[in-house]
Amino acid sequence: MRNAVIGIVVGLVVGVVLGVSIIGPRLNASLPETAAQTVAELTPEPATSKEPSPASTAEISALPAAAESLLAPAITPDPIVRWRMESAFASALPQLGAQAKRIETEIWRVSAGGMEIAFNEPGTLIQGKDTVSAVKDGTVDAAFVAPESWPATVPALQLFGAVPFGPRAEEYLAWLYFGGGEKLLNGLAEGLGVRIVVCGLVSPEGAGWYRRPLTTVEDLKGLRVRMTGLGARVMNRLGAKTVALNEGEIFHALETGAIDAAEYSMPAIDVQLGLHRMARNYYFPGWHQPATLLALIVNNDRWADLKPVQRSQLRAVCGDNVRHGLAEGEASQYRALLNLTKEGVTVRRWPREILGKLSKAWDEVARDTAKQDKDFAKVWKSLDRFRKDYAVWRDAGGR
Q: What is the CATH number of the domain that holds 105?
A: 3.40.190.170
What sign does the dihedral 260-362-152-173 (CA atoms) show? positive
Q: How large a percentage of the chain has pLDDT more than 70?
A: 80
Residue 236 covered by a domain: no
The Cα–Cα gap between 226 and 244 comes to: 6
Q: Of 265, 323, 268, 322, whose CA–CA distance to 296 is shortest?
A: 322
Residue 349 covered by a domain: yes
Residue 354 covered by a domain: yes
Q: Does 73 have pLDDT greater than 90? A: no
The residue-averaged pLDDT of 188-210 equals: 96
pTM above the 0.75 mark?
Answer: yes
Q: Does 233 have pLDDT greater than 60? A: yes
The residue-averaged pLDDT of 25-29 equals: 44
The residue-averaged pLDDT of 128-155 equals: 90
Q: Of 265, 299, 245, 244, whose CA–CA distance to 125 is shortest?
A: 299
CB 136 within 8 A of CB 194: yes
CB 211 within 8 A of CB 279: yes
The Cα–Cα gap between 361 and 367 comes to: 10
Per 3-state DSSP, the chain is made up of helix, strand and coil in percentages (nearest 5) of 55, 15, 30
The pLDDT tens digits of the residues spanning 277-323 come to 999 999 999 999 999 999 999 999 999 999 999 999 999 999 999 99
Q: Of 262, 341, 299, whose CA–CA distance to 82 is shortest?
A: 299
The residue-averaged pLDDT of 113-117 equals: 97
Strand duo 142-145 + 292-299: pairing: antiparallel
Q: Of 202, 205, 204, 200, whose CA–CA distance to 322 is shortest?
A: 200
Chain mean pLDDT for the chain? 86
Looking at residue 48, its pLDDT comes to 46
CB 154 within 8 A of CB 192: yes
Determine the residue type at 105: T
User: What CA–CA distances, in Å, run from 150 to 143, 155, 213?
Assistant: 11, 8, 32
The Cα–Cα gap between 165 and 147 comes to: 16
Looking at residue 35, its pLDDT comes to 38
Name every residue whose Cβ is closer than 8 Å to that of residue 227 and which is 6 or more positions away in sequence: 208, 235, 240, 242, 243, 244, 262, 263, 288
Residue 377 covered by a domain: yes
Residue 295 covered by a domain: yes
User: What is the pLDDT confidence band of residue 76, given thresholds at 50, 70 and 90?
Assistant: low
The pLDDT tens digits of the residues spanning 322-333 come to 999 999 999 999
Looking at residue 128, its pLDDT comes to 74
User: What CA–CA distances, in Å, run from 295 to 57, 189, 364, 381?
Assistant: 66, 12, 27, 22
The Cα–Cα gap between 279 and 262 comes to: 9
Q: How many domains does the chain have?
A: 1
The Cα–Cα gap between 199 and 295 comes to: 5
Looking at residue 71, its pLDDT comes to 52
Higher pLDDT pick, 8 / 340? 340
Q: Does 12 have pLDDT greater than 50? A: no
Residue 261, SS3?
strand
The Cα–Cα gap between 190 and 209 comes to: 38
Q: Does 22 have pLDDT greater than 90? A: no
The residue-averaged pLDDT of 345-365 equals: 97
Name every residue whose Cβ is closer than 8 Å to that of residue 373 and which is 6 or more positions away in sequence: 155, 156
Residue 8, SS3?
helix
For residue 113, what are the β-bridge partners? none
Residue 248 covered by a domain: no
Residue 270 covered by a domain: no
User: What CA–CA distances, in Å, run from 116 to 43, 103, 313?
Assistant: 42, 9, 12
Parent domain of 147: 81-206+287-396
Q: Which of 22-31, 74-83, 335-344 has the highest mean pLDDT?
A: 335-344
Q: Which helix (H) or strand (E) holds 40?
A: helix 33-42
Looking at residue 41, its pLDDT comes to 46
Looking at residue 105, its pLDDT comes to 97
Looking at residue 26, its pLDDT comes to 43
